[in-house]
Structure formats: structure tokens, C-alpha cells
Structure 1
Amino acid sequence: MNDGDTADDIMDATYRALCTHGYADLTMQDIADESDKSKAALHYHYDSKHDLLCAFLEYLYDGFVDRTEDPNGETSHERLLALVDSVLDKPDDGSEEFGTAILEIRAHAPHEPEFRERLTEFDDYLVDELQAVLEDGIADGTFDPGLDAEDTARFIVTVLTGAATERVTTGRPVECTRRMLTEYVETHLLAEQRGVEA
């Protein structure tokens, strides 16, 4: 088994352990119990639970990028909505328990600089992706030329983050957020809806 396979196996075990135990109660032994490796073997690769979880956040980031980059669509409008959908439509292989564990990690980020740094990567990446689509749409006349692409992208990310938090904390589906963001795009961002000449 190569190092890549070992890392993937440890990340998969970490995922399962987080689903079962949550963040606060998670131990290296819990992760070892979900894998075919001993606790000592985990410590060979990661000095502590903190280090392992930092690596796990990087692993999640890579998966998030794979899932959301290059949104489908022939127009900037379609690509923007596809990108929003790709964030709201989380993979169906997860569980509510895992979402709760990630929310716990996010709650510790103000006191854990390395967690904060990695979680910020998610937001910054998504802002950059949304901003690029918006700027393309401004350039081709799809979106209002007076639009501030960066501020709009940050606003959308804030809404998406809130929807994810609400889904975990209250169990509410994201369909209202999807519907209202679609309406926002179509009534506030499209040049034709704002009476702007392309």
C-alpha cells in the first residue's frame, strides 16, 4: 500500500469516526478503530489529533474543489446557478452527524488558528469562483455592469454558509435558500432585468 492509499484510508477512517463520535469526543483510538491501523501507526503519520484533523480539512478542501470547479452551463447565468447548486447539493454519502462534527470544528476555529486558516480556504476559493463567473457575466453583458463582483460573491458565500449551518442545527432543507438565491440572481444581477443595455 503506497502513502497515498494510506492517507486516503486514514481520511476515510477519520470521516467515519467523526460521524460516530463528533469532534469534541473524538480520540486517535476512535479513528484507529475505524481503520486497519493501530493508534501507534496513526501517530507515525500525524503527531496529534489536531494535526490529523488539519490534514482532514485539507482533504475535504480538495474534494470540495473537485466537486465545484468548472460549473456546467453555456452562459454565465447558468454557470452561476450551477455553482450555487453544487454547494447546496452536498454529496449523498454523508450524514447529519458528520455535518454536526464539521460545525463543531468551525466553532473552534476562532481559538484554533490552523483550523481557521483551512476553513478560510474554503470561503476564499468559493468567493474567487463566484467572482470569476460574475466578472465573465459582466464582461459579456449578462450581468449588470455596475455590479461589484467581489462584494456580490462574498454575500452569496455568506448566504450559502448560513444555509449549511441551518441545515445542521435545525434540520431545515436548503430549498428556500436555493429558491431565493435564484430569484436574487434573476431580479438583481441580470442586466436585462435591471433595464441595462448589454
Structure 2
Amino acid sequence: MSASTPATDARTRLARAALDAFAVRGFHGTTTRDISTAAGMSPAALYVHHRSKEDLLFELARVGHERVLDLVRASVATSEDPVEQLARLVEDFVRDHAVVHTGARVINYELAALSEEHLAAIRAIRHDIDLVVRGVVDRGVAAGVFTTPDPRMTSLALLSLGIDVGRWFRDEGRWTPDEVAAHYRFLALRMVGAERSRG
């Protein structure tokens, strides 16, 4: 099917409605009727495209996490220098979590509602994201440009800080996504003990 078919449009409307509803009410506080109604569809419409509300959440989480994995890999691929790699990765990761903060909040903070099988699939993608970040930090330590004594813990801290942006960032807030991304880049380079930072 092409991207403009009615079925795809319906899935997109359901996805957007689900993200908004989950963000406001949480997964367990949202009914399938809430989602379908917000999407302008009949109460049974969700089941035409998804086996369950949980299956819809999994689809949102899978697509979102795979997109972030692609993003961090692309960020790292822009340079061979660990300092620049980490700076670009953190800046892109944080900006993304600010720009799509509603979706980021849902796919990171509603995971407990997933089945064991679905949760395992998301954890596998998150592990791959962690490996990208840890790889950059490890290379920086090996090259002598990072001085963090525990690269693994530092990598987890960097990811946690970025993910949390999706929880607190608001469009009408004090800072823009670019301002938050630039500041977190500065913080990240300090955390790893980088001796130089490039603008």
C-alpha cells in the first residue's frame, strides 16, 4: 500500500490520537473508545488496524525507538572524532526528545503496560541505542580525550538525561529545543571529561 491509502491514513490518525490520549490519561486511563473517538472513527475502528490497545502502544514504541536508533547512528556517522561524535549525538538526541516530547514521554514512560514479549523487543532496541552511546564514550576514553572513570555508567546517565527531556519539556516553556540541545551538549562533554568542546 502507498503512504496515501485510506488504511494508512486511518492508522496515522489512530496513532496520533493514542499518543495524545496516553500522554494525558496514561495507558491504563485511556479506553479504545477514547482513541477511536479522538481519531474521528467508530469505537470498533481500532481493532481493524490493531489487535488491542496494547498492540497499538507497542507499535508506537517500536517505531519511535527504531527512529531514535537510526538518529543516533546517523549522528555518530558524521565524524571520526569521539568528541564531535558525542557532541552531535547528544545534541540531536536531546533536540529530538524536546521536539516530539509528547511521543517521547509516552514511549518511554508507558512501557510497563507492554506484554513481556513486546517489552523484550523494545528493550532490545534500547540496548542497541545504549551500545551506540557507550561505543562513542569507550572510544573517547581509549583515545585519551574523555576521562570518565566509568564509561558504562556515564553512557546510561547521558541517555537518562536526554530521555527525561520528553517528560518535562513543553512548547510554551522557557527554552527552545535548540537551546536545550546546546546546553545538554555542553553538560555531556563536561560529564565525560572532554578537554575540548567544539561549537
In which range does the TM-score fall when normalised by the shorter chain? 0.5 to 0.7
Q: 1:166 to 1:10 in 2, by over 3 A?
A: closer
Change (3 A) 1:165 1:179: same
Ranked by relative contact order (alpha carbons within 8 Å, sequence separation 6 or more), the top structure is 2
Aligned-partner Cα distance in 2 for 1:164–1:28: 27
Residue of structure 1 in register with 2:57 after alignment? 53
In the TM superposition, what whole-angstrom CA distance separates every residue of 1:123-145 from its partner, at most 9, and x where no partner exists?
21222212443465577x4647x
Measure the CA separation in 2 of the matches of 1:19 and 1:51: 17
Cα deviation code 1:132-164 (max 9, x no counterpart): 43465577x4647x999xx72453124422553
Q: How many pairs align?
A: 182
Aligned to 1:105: 110
Percent of aligned pairs sharing the same letter: 19
The residue type equivalent to 1:8 in the other structure is: T
- TM-score of the superposition, structure 1-length normalised? 0.67
Q: Deviations over 1:106-135 (max 9, x none)?
A: 4x26x8424532441342122221244346
Could you list the runs of 5+ residues in structure 1 that have no partner in the other structure?
193-198
How far off its partner does 1:58 sit? 0.9
**Structure 1 Cα separation of the partners of residues 54 and 185 of structure 2:** 34
Question: Which structure: larger Rg?
Answer: 1
Asked if residue 76 in structure 1 is aligned to residue 82 in structure 2, the reply is yes
Whether the 8 Å CA contact 2:93–2:162 is kept in 1: the answer is no
Per the TM alignment, residue 83 of structure 1 is displaced from its structure 2 partner at its CA by 0.9
Q: Runs of 4 or more off by more than 6 Å in structure 1?
A: 173-176
**Which residue number in structure 2 is paired with residue 21 of structure 1?**
25
| In structure 2, C-alpha distance between the alignment counterparts of 1:76 and 1:101, rounded to whole Å | 31
Q: State how far apart, in whole Å, the 2-side matches of 1:166 and 1:15 are.
A: 17
Q: Say if 1:12 and 1:167 are closer, same or farther in 2 by CA, change over 3 A.
A: closer
Q: Report the AA paired with residue 126 of structure 2.
A: D
